[in-house]
Amino acid sequence: MTQRRVPGLESPAHCVHYQVAEILRAGIGVGAFVPHHRDVGRRLRDLHLAGSEVIATFEDGTTEVGDFLVGADGVHSRVRAWMLPGEAAARDTQMVSIGGFCARDFAPPADPRDATRLTFVVGPKYQFGYSRMNDGLWGWWCHAHAPNEAAGTKLLTMASEDLRACMLERYAGWSEPVERLIRDTVSWLRTPIHDLPHLSAWHKGPVLLVGDAAHAMSPAGGQGASLALEDAMLFAKLAADPSRPIEDAMSRFEARRRARAEAVVAQAYANDRRTLQALGPVAMWTRDRVMMPIFARFIEKALNDVYSSAACLSPRRRARDVMGSPTAGSHPAALASEAREITRGTRAAVARVHGPASSHP
């Protein structure tokens, strides 16, 4: 495989997209990636296949040539529009993510554990999440239903003070500090939620989709970033094998990832829908006093199967999660060993991204 590099991909990782690109680049070390436009100052406009090469054209008129291209360009992917013109548009889930950040002098919630965890508050209907962010600011988030375009536009464009009034009305009487977080919000975030339940293909020739470009999901799944990073880990590993053509690595990647990704997209969509169903007082009492205490252990285990971050915590199960359905004849021990190998390689790749090689042997 000819080694080519896209210039300008030298900056450190700052967000998931950077991490995805950097894991791929560090793991493989060859090929062209669609970079973050702020990173190289260019946005991808079009792609062409010429013989065994991929030619990427950017909006500023410049081009880059590579042996293959990984489209890690998000839910409204330009690479996907090129690859699958009929499937370019993501599904509108009719949910809008609403949230905000509070003033720096926001008085922390009474429970000190809230400072080091994500807290989700459930009511008869809807949910409300909050946490202290890395920079010390308190932030919160929720999803609102926008059953038609007009409702969505209204939520996305109404004045901040009107939105605050809406949120205060919705969460009136909820436990501390829900109302206080809304009252003290100084910076608002609003995002329409789109997802991709199923694409007919994840790759075409030497062009591959990863992350949200292939399987965007509602944040109600809490897994979009993790799946994007898992994609990067696995593809970097598969593509690093020089004995196989890159398209073979792409096919194997898709075969291993599809089942897990599509299941999590569906779960995220269902999570959103569930919060729209209002529970009566008896159903709420049963949920809070009977179901949760009895089933908390099982719920925790089910969540761990999806959300645990390290393959080594539960190698057998995690091996299946990371790599999709096990291939025919794969022994669990072999899968576990492969999962460990993926994470080991990734740690090395990330170490190379973040620090001098000498300090991360």
Ligand X SMILES: Cc1cc2nc3c(=O)[nH]c(=O)nc-3n(C[C@H](O)[C@H](O)[C@H](O)COP(=O)(O)OP(=O)(O)OC[C@H]3O[C@@H](n4cnc5c(N)ncnc54)[C@H](O)[C@@H]3O)c2cc1C
Binding interface with ligand X (CB under 6 A): 16-17, 20, 34, 36-37, 43-44, 72-74, 78, 97, 191, 211-213, 219, 222-226, 228
Q: Of 152 and 211, which CB lies nearer to ligand X in the complex structure?
A: 211
Task: In whole angstroms, give the CA distance from residue 95 to residue 206.
Answer: 35
Q: Of 72 and 311, which CB lies nearer to ligand X in the complex structure?
A: 72
Q: What distance lies between CA 223 and its chain's CA centroid?
A: 5
Read off the DSSP letter of residue 124: S
Q: Of 34 and 323, which CB lies nearer to ligand X in the complex structure?
A: 34
Beta bridge partners of 208: 70, 203
- Which of 66, 22, 59 minimizes the C-alpha distance to 44? 59
**Minimum distance, C-beta of residue 251 to ligand X, in the bound complex (Å):** 20
Q: Of 225 and 255, which CB lies nearer to ligand X in the complex structure?
A: 225
**Minimum distance, C-beta of residue 34 to ligand X, in the bound complex (Å):** 5
The two tokens of residue 1 are 């495989």
The b/e string for 56-77 (b: 16+ C-beta within 10 A; e otherwise) is bebeeeeebebbbbbbbbbbeb
Q: Of 144 and 335, which CB lies nearer to ligand X in the complex structure?
A: 144
Task: In whole angstroms, give the CA distance from residue 243 to residue 354.
Answer: 29
**Minimum distance, C-beta of residue 228 to ligand X, in the bound complex (Å):** 4
Read off the DSSP letter of residue 175: P
Distances (CA, A) of 314 to 10, 301, 330: 35, 11, 17
Q: Helix 292-307 crosses helix 315-323 at what angle (to 10 degrees)?
A: 60
**Minimum distance, C-beta of residue 17 to ligand X, in the bound complex (Å):** 3
Q: Of 48 and 289, which CB lies nearer to ligand X in the complex structure?
A: 48
Task: In whole angstroms, give the CA distance from residue 310 to residue 47.
Answer: 36
Do 257 and 47 touch, CB atoms closer than 8 A?
no
Beta bridge partners of 66: 54
**Minimum distance, C-beta of residue 333 to ligand X, in the bound complex (Å):** 30
Q: Of 58 and 171, which CB lies nearer to ligand X in the complex structure?
A: 58
**Minimum distance, C-beta of residue 286 to ligand X, in the bound complex (Å):** 28
Cβ-based neighbours of 60, under 8 Å, separated by 6 or more: 41, 42
Q: Which helix (H) or strand (E) holds 252?
A: helix 246-274
Residue 191 phi/psi, 5-degree rounding, is: -140, 125
**Minimum distance, C-beta of residue 359 to ligand X, in the bound complex (Å):** 27
The two tokens of residue 48 are 């062409």
**Minimum distance, C-beta of residue 43 to ligand X, in the bound complex (Å):** 4
Neighbours of 257 (CB within 10 A): 22
Task: In whole angstroms, give the CA distance from residue 285 to residue 300.
Answer: 20
**Minimum distance, C-beta of residue 73 to ligand X, in the bound complex (Å):** 4
Q: Of 29 and 129, which CB lies nearer to ligand X in the complex structure?
A: 129
Q: Of 209 and 311, which CB lies nearer to ligand X in the complex structure?
A: 209
